Amino acid sequence: MQLRRLACGTALLVAGTLARPVRAGDATGAFAPYEDIVPVIADLTWHLKDDVYRFPPPQDPTGHDLYGLTLARLDAWEKRFPNRLRDVISFTRAETLERLGEYRRAADGYAKVAALPSPLAPRANDCRARAEAFAVAAALPETGSDIGERLTLVRRKLDAWDQLLTRYQATAFQPVVMVEIERLERIGATIVADHRDAIENGDATAERSLRFLIEKHADSKNLPSHILRLGDLYADLAREYVATHDRPLAFDPDEFTRRADRALDTYRKVATWDGAREKPEGQGHFAAFEAWKSITLARYR
Amino acid sequence: MRRLAPLLALLALAAPACADDLLGEAATVDREAEVRVHDLLARALAEDGPAFDAEIAALAALDDARREADLPRTGLLDDAHYLAAALAPSRDARRAALEAVLRAHPDPTVRRLAEHRLEDADDAAKADQLLADDRHNRRAELLNDAVRPLGVFSPTAFLAAINPLLLAGSAVDSIATTAVNLWNYNRLSTAEREALVRYRTELAREPDTADAPAIARAIRRLGEKRAKVFCTETVAAATQALDAGDLDRARFYVDSALATDHCTDAAATSQERLARLRNERAAREEAARWPVDEPPAPEPDETEDHYALVAAVALGDPAAMAEAGNRFLARHDDSALAPGVRYAVAVARDRGGPRELARDAVTALARDHRSDAGRHAAALAASPEWNRLGALADAESAHSRDVARYVLLGRQMDGRTALYSALQIGADSVRGAQSFGIFNVIGLATRAWSAWRKDPASNQAIIDRGEDFLAREPDSADAPAVHARLADAYERAGNFGRALMHCHATPAPDPKRVAKLEGKLAETLLAEADQRGGDPDLLRLVAHGFPETAAGKTALERIEKLPGAGEITITREILDAQPALAGPAGLDLPPALLDRRRANGEIADAGVTLANGALKLTLRDPAGGPDTTETRPLAPDAWARARAAAESALYGQALAKAKEDPEAGKYEKYIPIYVTGSIDESGGVYVYPGVKLRRYHSPDAPLYQ
How would DSSP label each residue in B485-537? HHHHHHHHHT-HHHHHHHHHTSSS--HHHHHHHHHHHHHHHHHHHHHTTS-HH
Over residues B502-509, the mean pLDDT reads: 90
- Establish if B578 touches chain A: CB-CB under 8 angstroms: no
- Establish if B281 touches chain A: CB-CB under 8 angstroms: no
- What pLDDT sits at residue B291? 59
Tally helices (H) and strands (E) across chain A.
Answer: 12, 0
CA–CA separation, B107 and B61 (whole Å):
19
Confidence of residue B573 (pLDDT cuts 50, 70, 90): confident
pLDDT tens column, B189-213: 999 999 999 999 999 999 999 999 9
Closest residue on chain B to A40 (Cα): B83
CA–CA separation, B350 and B656 (whole Å):
73
Q: Among B557, B610, B562, which residue's Cα sits nearest to residue B587?
A: B610
Confidence of residue A156 (pLDDT cuts 50, 70, 90): very high
Beta-carbon pairs below 8 A across chains A and B: 205
Contact A187, A222 (CB under 8 A): no
Closest residue on chain A to B202 (Cα): A55
Is ipTM beyond 0.90?
A: no
Closest residue on chain B to A262 (Cα): B252
Distance (Å) from the alpha carbon of B256 to chain A's nearest alpha carbon: 8
Q: Which of B362-366, B645-649, B652-656 has the lowest mean pLDDT?
A: B652-656
- What pLDDT sits at residue A179? 96
Kindly determine whether residue B75 and residue A26, on different chains, have CB atoms separated by under 8 Å.
yes
Q: A-chain residues within 8 Å CB-CB of B107?
A: 23-26, 35
Output B595 or B100, whichever has higher pLDDT.
B100
From residue A168, alpha-carbon distances to A111, B492, B590 in Å are 20, 65, 54
Over residues B354-383, the mean pLDDT reads: 83
> Which residues lie closer than 8 Å to B346 by C-beta, 6 or more apart?
B358, B361, B362, B365, B377
Kindly determine whether residue A119 and residue B46, on different chains, have CB atoms separated by under 8 Å.
yes
Q: A-chain residues within 8 Å CB-CB of B75?
A: 24-28, 31-32, 35
Q: B-chain residues within 8 Å CB-CB of A220?
A: none
Output B20 or B137, whichever has higher pLDDT.
B137
Distance (Å) from the alpha carbon of A154 to chain B's nearest alpha carbon: 31
CA–CA separation, B325 and B317 (whole Å):
12
pLDDT tens column, A109-150: 999 999 999 999 999 999 999 999 999 999 999 988 888 899
Average per-residue pLDDT for chain A:
90
CA–CA separation, B280 and B216 (whole Å):
49
Confidence of residue B161 (pLDDT cuts 50, 70, 90): low
Kindly provide the b/e burial profile for residues B289-324, where b requires at least 16 CB atoms within 10 angstroms of the residue's own CB: eeeeeeeeebeeebeebbebbeebbeeebbebbbbb
- Establish if B699 touches chain A: CB-CB under 8 angstroms: yes
H helix or E strand, kind and range, residue B677: strand B673-679
Query: Prior bond to A175 cis, omega within 30?
Result: no
Share of chain A above pLDDT 70, in %: 91
What pTM did the predictor assign? 0.77
What letter does residue B117 receive in the DSSP assignment?
I
CA–CA separation, B498 and B669 (whole Å):
45
H helix or E strand, kind and range, residue B618: strand B614-619
For testing contact with chain A, the best of B34, B226, B639, B704 (most A CBs within 10 A):
B34
CA–CA separation, A194 and A183 (whole Å):
16
> Which residues lie closer than 8 Å to B216 by C-beta, 6 or more apart?
B203
Kindly determine whether residue A60 and residue B116, on different chains, have CB atoms separated by under 8 Å.
yes
Kindly determine whether residue A29 and residue B645, on different chains, have CB atoms separated by under 8 Å.
no
Kindly determine whether residue A24 and residue B106, on different chains, have CB atoms separated by under 8 Å.
yes
Q: B-chain residues within 8 Å CB-CB of A264?
A: 252
- The tally of CA atoms less than 13 A away on the side-chain side of residue B284 is 7
CA–CA separation, B54 and B50 (whole Å):
6
CA–CA separation, A154 and A192 (whole Å):
12
Kindly determine whether residue A26 and residue B107, on different chains, have CB atoms separated by under 8 Å.
yes
CA–CA separation, B463 and B392 (whole Å):
8
- What pLDDT sits at residue A135? 97
Phi-psi region for residue B477, left (φ > 0), alpha (ψ -120 to 50) or beta? alpha
Q: A-chain residues within 8 Å CB-CB of B654?
A: 62
Q: Among B106, B114, B109, which residue's Cα sits nearest to residue B88?
A: B114
- Establish if B120 touches chain A: CB-CB under 8 angstroms: yes
Kindly determine whether residue A62 and residue B655, on different chains, have CB atoms separated by under 8 Å.
yes
Q: Which of residues 26-65 of B touch A (CB under 8 A)?
A: 26, 29-30, 32-34, 36-46
Amino acid at A203: D
Kindly determine whether residue B37 and residue A277, on different chains, have CB atoms separated by under 8 Å.
no
From residue B234, alpha-carbon distances to B187, B192, B257, B275, B677 in Å are 16, 19, 6, 17, 40
Closest residue on chain A to B655 (Cα): A62
Kindly provide the b/e burial profile for residues B98-125, where b requires at least 16 CB atoms within 10 angstroms of the residue's own CB: beebbebebbebbbbbbbbbbebbbbbb
Q: B225 pLDDT exceeds 90?
A: yes
